[in-house]
């Protein structure tokens, strides 16, 4: 069974215009690796030069921010939803 990855509006062109996609992966790292393998270009938008998540990108597994879980090693059960949410700034 796959997991569902919700794609934010600003990144949908990378995913062929899809608002969500289904991918395989037992951990967040595996899911995001498969996301970039299927839809190239996501790694540049999600990861910094050290391989960590960019500061302005928030990723949730279910309703939990992965920064407060196990980061990229966070388990993603079959059928779960991963949400990519870019930070919003402005005045």
Whole-number pLDDT of residue 87: 85
Query: Rounded to the nearest 5°, which phi and psi values hold at 35?
Result: -60, -50
Are the C-beta atoms of residues 59 and 28 closer than 8 Å to each other?
yes
Q: Domains in the chain, ordered, with CATH?
A: 3-86 (3.10.20.30)
Residue 90, pLDDT score: 63
What 8-state DSSP symbol labels residue 11?
G
Sort strands 81-86 and 3-6 into parallel, antiparallel or unpaired. Answer: parallel
pTM score above 0.85: yes
> Does the structure show a pLDDT above 80 at 89?
no
């Amino acid at each position: 069974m796959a997991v569902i990855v919700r794609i934010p509006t600003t990144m949908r062109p990378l995913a062929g215009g899809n608002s969500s996609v289904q991918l395989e992966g037992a951990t967040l790292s595996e899911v995001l690796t498969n996301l970039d393998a299927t839809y190239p270009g996501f790694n540049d938008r999600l990861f910094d030069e050290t391989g960590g998540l960019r500061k302005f990108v928030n990723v949730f597994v279910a309703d939990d921010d992965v920064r407060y879980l196990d980061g990229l090693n966070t388990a993603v059960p079959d059928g779960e939803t991963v949400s990519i949410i870019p930070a919003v700034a402005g005045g």
